[in-house]
Structure 1
Amino acid sequence: MAQPAGDLARPGPADILKLLAPYPGRAAMATRIALICALTAFVTSAYGTPEAAISAYVVFFLNRPDRVLSVVLGSALLVLVTVLIGVVMVVAMFALDDPMWRVACIAGLSFGLLFVTSASKLRPVGAIIAMIVGFALDELGSVPFGEVATRALLYVWLMVAIPVGVSIGVNLLIAPSPRKLAGRALAKRLRLAAQSLSEPGVTAGALSECLHEGDAEIGTWLKLSVVDGSSVRDDVGPLRQAVSSTLAILVAANLAASEPSGRLPASFAAPIAETLENMARMLDAGGYPVDIELKLPSMTELTPLARLVVEDLRDAITRFAVVEAQTDVEGESKVESGARTEARTQAQVEGKTTPPPAAKRGGFFLPDAFTNPDHVRYALKTTAAAMFCYLLYSQINWPGIHTCFITVYMVSLGTTAETVEKMTLRIAGCLVGAVLGTAAIVFATPVLTSVAGLIALVLIGAWLSAWVAFGSPRIAYAGFQIALVFFMCVLQGAAPGYDLTVARDRTIGILIANVVVYLVFTRVWPVTVAARVDAGLAALRQQWVRLAALPDAVTRRAQAASAMAQCGALEQDIALMHYEPSWVRPEAQWIAERRSALAKLDALEGPMFLLAERRPGDAAIEGWLKRVVGGLAVSAVESDVSAGAMGATGVQGAGGTVVTALPAGQDPDLPEAAANDDTRTALLLLGDARLTQLEHAASNDAAKELTAHASA
């Protein structure tokens, strides 16, 4: 099982070294980013455009692992910035000569863009756009007449256009295709499953982390592979089936690695591991395996759990890319949907209840865009912090710290915990970047004799920053900040710069912005992640109830992968809470209850998935889910899904209604053959044992805490 959620966001020195360890594709990504930054620095030096450091830094926001998304994102950002520069030109006609109007326009445009950032799908780049618009208006305020103002706007456009153009060119030449990345990801998962069969104790944690990553990114790559021509349409169906089969392989391997009774003897583990390794090599080569043969000994001597593992692995491997009758991972076919509607109507006539349908996808704006006040508050808080920094360096006439205005947009996030976490990482990255930048100015810059030397220096610094930024999300923001500060120190103009004052001022500006954002986001309308956790728990349980009843294997597995990824995201949210100040963070008991519920859901993922694979709609799954949330507030979680009960029986306990699964042989809803199924019995016993173990652990922790309070 995964480590406790509360420990996920507290990396120690050993954890940091592990997060910095190489993995397939990391060096290639860092090299590509470094090359684009170096070429951007070369172009800005050749043409003498100002703010070369910002141009190099924008590269980090333009690139993704695959070439299609990188090109599309860069092109879209360039079009958007071009439109916004036109808006700025119109605004400047009325506000250029009046400082008060200029400040008002900066604040108004910042608020509008930040609101759209928070309330729509523009979130990944919205803050960058708001920063560019504000910076453009600020630059216009320092020009003496209109012609220079026009040239200043051109330079602001070039500040984005140069890295976009370089990024598109480099990505088209050397970036990997989406098909290659999808094959590489599937091969990595198959190799991990193969390794777990021979080294179960070593790979158990890695398997859990892999399951919590989900399949969304791989699915996106498969769609994009058709767009760029790296896959033909006839291959998409088998590859989607391969993604579905890989999930089943990972779940079965995880069960074998985490349960001693599920371990496979060498006579089974060796041929299965060898087959998985051969399949991984085919995926790495750009193809996918078909007509797979797997010869295994008789399973009569295996335990029920081990036999279940072998059966699942054999079926998933031999039918790895065999397209099933229904393979639409986005939703159900019209025929199936109609049948489901008819069944739901019949159930309502008979007085039964069914799980609620899945929510429809929204458009550009989020469903709560115009009803949730947090979107307006986020825009107001970020704008207020940015305007304070703008007025600070303007009034004290210290333009060298103008980076405080820029940094506010980079640091602010929707919740207090995320903002403080990002600020912590950025301060650490700021200090590291300042040390590297100052060392480069003192020791490297004096020996540079040409622009080529400066480009080499940028290449090295960008590569180190990208290695951190495009690794684990837990330290990624530190890499972004290292890049920003390093570029601010080294790229002082069209030629190598030696002024340590520039590095000092820009670093001070970044630190000022972090302090201002911290004070604003922790004191003014602080937003805790608690509401998101409760809503996520309710949605997660609904998702398991729905997928447990799906008869189609591919759709069910896609939903299961999404549910596992959601569980991992909720664990991260719980872990983020230790960044919240005491007056924002929920009570310790509240956190402990949610952490316990997530630990139980994590422990039940394997048994629920395997049970749903064999018997869709099994009553034991709903029983487990009710038992998980039995101690939580009904209004937060239980009320949203009470209508989804599937026939389990319950007993009243101190913490609420605790529903337990009926043992095999006593379930009136299943035929006699199903009741005698020893694999189902083994799964029921496994799920109950895991829940009981976690409940006892939670009770012991509560007793220790009560004793500590009493002795105090």
Structure 2
Amino acid sequence: MILRQWLDDALKGSAERQSATLRLTLSCLLLTLLFLSFQLPFLAVAIIVVFYVTQKNVVLTAGIGLGFVVVALLALGGMLLIIKYTYDTPLIRLVASLFLFFWAMFFMRVLGKLGLAFFVVALVLIYAQTFPSMTGESEIIVRLILWLWMSMVVAIVVTVLVNACFIQAYPHYQYCQRVAALCQQTADRLQGINSGEQPVGIFIAEQLNELQSLYKFACLTNSDFKEKSKSWYSLSNLALKSLALAELYHVNPGKADTQQVTRLAEHFRQLATQARQREIGGSSPVAIATADKILEELSQLCEQFRVTRSIAPLPGQTEKPPLMAVDAWRNPLYLQFALKTLLASLLCYLFYTATAWQGVHTIMLSCVIVAQPGLGATYQKAGLRVVGALGAAVVAVIGMVFIQPHLDTIVGLLLMCLPIFAFSAWLAAGSERVAYAGIQFGFTFALLFLSGFGPMSNLTELRDRVIGIILGVIVASIVYLYLWPDSDAPRLQKNMARLYRQLGRYCSQRATDGPPLQIYQQIEQVTELASRFDAEPLASTTHPYRCAVQWPIKESLEVAQRLAILVSGYSRYATSDDPFLNHLAHWLQNYANAIDGEVISPLPVPLYHNPYGDALLESLRQLRYWQPIFPQLTQEHLDGD
């Protein structure tokens, strides 16, 4: 199943992914031309910097690039000072570097998005340890460190300039295209067309987070967008609310107003066309006469936007996570994570120095790169690193043996590299399940095939670097599994229980003023955890939660997604004296307790006349307990007497 998901993610295409692929490919080709023409070292480092710096829009790319320059300058400057005062005493140099490396990994784990800066510091510190073993000349070591920083600066400048040349990378353009996609999907769902690749709830949660970020950047970078920012903001709110209502109508077994649905769908397609053209002009009236409450609500929203250009934001938006984990200094998990990474890197460094095997210097980098929060994420990235490295090695050998002898100009070399960089960029622009394989593919190819300034013919060097990557992954995987294994199982169980408690509260509130946004965001978080958990080695005898293989994770997520939609629809047709939602709220709270491991007796759920009632009970019948000691839910448990 994991392989099938990987292939699906690798083949999926979208306009945004195509644009990102083009920008990444062009940046890599320009850097290859520049570095080989002027004989600049560390082209492979420049290539991987391109993949890490390139973000979804040019503003983020420039910000991340500036952060990379500053952080790399501080890290390499600190490394220069360490080498200056400890060059003649390798033990002190190693201890000082490992001390800084430990705290870099710690802050990488606890600082969330800012942890990427400390990830760069850790990489620089561990990579610079190979310089003293390359030569005994201190001046050459200093030059290597300075050239390493310069290669990163050149890569960042080229990346930012390339991204700035494409309007598809600007926030205002992306904001308009996303709003257009939401309007188009609303029209499709009204007419029963499933145009999305994700469940609607998760799609809404993801789009909301990205739209909020794009809206801020667009207002800062485009004056025309800023003048109409309130109208654009209202249009995005309209699109998000309408998509949730369209999904409610789609699952309503009693829908019948085909003519009115067609009018509403055409209206949203008109809005989508205007948004694609970055216009927010007028639209024709869409008031309709219908007995369907959902279609009537949709019509009122559209009329409100047409007349006032003002739609309130979605209720229940969650706050941003704190800059640093609240339990950073209390939870030993973060220190254990830093210590495990340090131990794995140190073991690889001892192997590297004891064998005097210069070609396997990539062994230490692997320990840092695959270090992720959670055992599943670590094994997932380790697998992607091995797949990417082996694939790049095969391509490099084919190019070295069969293609390179026929090349005599740099143009021919660039044409040979074009499909390779394009393929790696396509993977890197995909989902997280495949993105790192693309980064590793491009980086390893550049490391193996483009490390010199002339034709490559040494297959031994290629072999050694691939062996270094694989050995590093093996050492890191063993250390992370046997030393304080950090499984996502308890976090997944806790978040799933929280999800069903939120569903219970939503039932008791009878909310009808918008989609259950917080529930959708919680579903998104649990889905991400479940994806990471799938990669954990549950078959290993040392795994602390082997019983978790019996948990109905996928079924529980699917049911939660349907419940959020069906409860929202049920509440619109429920009478004030209908106790069904209150009973359901109590039952879902009990089910959440059962996920946490408490023995409970499910309450009966009475059924009252409502078009969404049968679908609700059918979804509840699919729920199973997470603990093996609990029996599956039966018809009597659900329907009662």
> Does TM, scored on the shorter chain, surpass 0.5?
yes
Q: Which amino acid aligns with 2:447?
A: M
Q: State yes or no: 1:276 paired with 2:236.
A: no
Letter in 2 for 1:468: L
Partner of 1:186: 179
Distance in 1 (alpha carbons) for counterparts of 2:575 and 2:91: 66
Change beyond 3 A, Cα 1:383–1:329: farther
Alignment check: 8 A CA contact 2:176 2:276 kept: yes
Q: Of 68, 71, 80, which residue of structure 1 is paired with 2:71?
A: 80
Q: Distance in 2 between matches of 1:318 and 1:564?
A: 31
Aligned pairs for 1:513-528 within 5 A? 513-528=472-487
The alpha carbon displacement at 1:34 in A equals: 1.0
Superposed CA RMSD in Å reads 3.6
Letter in 2 for 1:527: D
Q: Please report how far the alpha carbon of residue 17 of structure 1 lies from its aligned counterpart in structure 2 after TM superposition.
A: 4.8
The residue that corresponds to 2:295 in the other structure is 310
2:222 maps to what in 1? 229
Q: 1:461-540 residue pairs with structure 2 within 5 A?
A: 461-540=420-499
The within-5 A match list for 1:133-532 is 133-174=125-166, 176-200=169-193, 207=200, 210-211=203-204, 213-229=206-222, 232-259=225-252, 261-264=253-256, 266-288=258-280, 290-296=282-288, 298-300=289-291, 307-320=292-305, 324=310, 327=313, 361=320, 363-532=322-491
How far off is 1:421 after superposition?
A: 1.6
- Aligned residue-pair number: 627
Structure 2 residue 618 is the aligned partner of structure 1 residue 692: no
Task: Return the alpha-carbon distance in structure 1 between the equivalents of residues 353 and 259 of structure 2.
Answer: 75
> What amino acid maps onto 1:172 in structure 2?
A
Aligned counterparts of 1:22 and 1:264: Cα–Cα separation in 2? 35
Cα contact 2:200–2:247 (8 A) shared by 1: yes
Deviations 1:230-267, CA, capped at 9 Å, x for gaps: 664453333333333223222233334445x1555542
Separation in 2, partners of 1:616, 1:47: 76
2-side partners of 1:312 and 1:570: how far apart? 35
Aligned-pair distance for 1:543? Answer: 5.0
Report the CA distance between 1:688 and its aligned residue.
Answer: 3.3
Instruction: Check whether the contact 2:498–2:592 (CA below 8 A) recurs between aligned residues.
Output: no
Give the whole-Å Cα distance in 2 for the aligned partners of 1:403 and 1:616: 66
Are the counterparts in 1 of residues 501 and 589 from structure 2 also a CA contact under 8 Å?
Answer: no
Report how far residue 418 of structure 1 moved: 1.1
User: Does the alignment pair 1:38 with 2:29?
Assistant: yes
CA contact (8 A) 1:131 1:409 kept: yes
Q: Which moved more, 1:49-58 or 1:454-463?
A: 454-463
Supply the distance in 2 between the matched residues of 1:326 and 1:188 (Cα, whole angstroms).
20
Report SS of the residue matched to 2:324: coil
Indicate the larger mover: 494-503 or 58-67: 494-503
Change (3 A) 1:508 1:693: closer
Judge conservation of contact 1:219–1:240 (CA < 8 Å) in 2.
no
Q: Which moved more, 1:422-431 or 1:568-577?
A: 568-577
Residue 283 of structure 1 and its aligned partner are, at CA, apart by 1.1
Q: Are residues 233 and 27 of structure 1, via their aligned partners in 2, closer, same or farther at CA, if it must alter by over 3 Å?
A: closer
Q: Give the C-alpha shift of residue 582 in structure 1.
A: 4.7
Residue ranges of structure 2 left out of the alignment (5+ in a row): 634-641
Find the residue that maps to 2:433 and give its secondary structure.
Answer: coil
Moved more, 522-531 or 308-317: 308-317
SS of the residue 2:66 aligns to: helix
Where do 5+ consecutive residues of structure 1 fail to align?
1-6, 301-306, 332-357, 639-654, 665-677, 705-712
State the alpha-carbon separation in 2 of the partners of residues 52 and 558 from structure 1: 45
For the Cα contact (< 8 Å) 1:256–1:264, is it kept in 2? no
CA distance in 2, matches of 1:362, 1:596: 28
Contact 1:626–1:658 under 8 Å retained in 2? no
Does the C-alpha gap of structure 1 residues 616 and 278 become closer, same or farther in structure 2, counting only changes over 3 Å? farther
- Aligned-pair CA distance for 1:60: 0.6
Select between 200-209 and 535-544 the one with higher mean Cα deviation.
200-209
Q: Which one of 86, 95, 98 corresponds to residue 107 of structure 1?
A: 98
Q: What residue in structure 1 maps to residue 636 of structure 2?
A: none
SS at match of 1:630: helix
Q: Decide whether aligned partners of structure 1 residues 252 and 267 sit closer, same or farther in structure 2, where only a CA change above 3 A counts.
A: same
Query: How far apart, CA to CA, are the structure 1 residues paired with 2:238 and 2:261?
Result: 18
How far apart are 1:446 and its partner, in Å? Answer: 1.8
Is the Cα–Cα contact under 8 Å of residues 234 and 305 in structure 2 kept in the other structure?
yes
Question: Shift in Å at residue 595 of structure 1?
Answer: 4.7
Check 1:697–1:279 CA distance in 2 against 1; reply closer, same or farther (3 A cut). farther
1:710 aligns with: none
1:21-60 equivalence runs, <5 A: 21-60=12-51
Paired position in structure 2 for 1:89: 80
Alpha carbons 2:392, 2:444 under 8 Å: kept: yes
TM-score, normalised to structure 1, is 0.79
Q: Give deviations 1:541-568, integer Å, cap 9, x for gaps.
A: 56556777598957x7654553443343
**Cα deviation, residue 68, structure 1:** 0.6
The equivalent of 2:639 in structure 1 is none
Distance in structure 1 (CA, Å) of the matches to 2:374 and 2:575: 38
Post-superposition offset of 1:588? 4.0
TM-score with structure 2 setting the length: 0.87
In structure 2, give the amino acid aligned to 1:512: L
Write the distance in 2 (CA, Å) between the matches of 1:696 and 1:154. 59
Closer/same/farther in 2, CA of residues 309 and 686 from structure 1, 3 Å limit: farther
1:491 is displaced (CA, Å) by 1.0
Residue pair 2:86, 2:92 contacting (<8 A) in 1 also: yes
Question: C-alpha displacement at 1:116, in angstroms?
Answer: 0.4
Q: Contact (CA 8 Å) 1:412, 1:419: kept in 2 or not?
A: yes
Match of 1:670 in 2: none
The CA distance in 1 between the partners of 2:16 and 2:321, in whole Å, is 33
The answer to whether the 8 A contact 2:29-2:417 is kept is yes
Cα deviations by residue, 1:320-368 (Å, 9 ceiling, x for unpaired): 585658548796xxxxxxxxxxxxxxxxxxxxxxxxxx7x655432111
Find the residue that maps to 2:134 and give its secondary structure. Answer: coil
Seen in structure 2, the aligned counterparts of structure 1 residues 274 and 239 have a Cα distance that, compared at 3 Å, is same
Letter in 1 for 2:238: S
Query: Does structure 2 retain, via aligned residues, the 8 Å contact 1:429–1:482?
Result: yes
Report the Cα offset of residue 66 of structure 1: 0.8
Identity %: 20
Q: In 2, Cα distance between the equivalents of 1:106 and 1:660?
A: 62
Q: State the distance in 2 between where 1:363 and 1:209 align.
A: 22
CA–CA separation in structure 1 for the residues paired with 2:162 and 2:536: 40
Per-residue CA deviations over 1:506-564 (Å, capped at 9, x if unaligned) read: 1111111111111111111101101211332344356556777598957x765455344
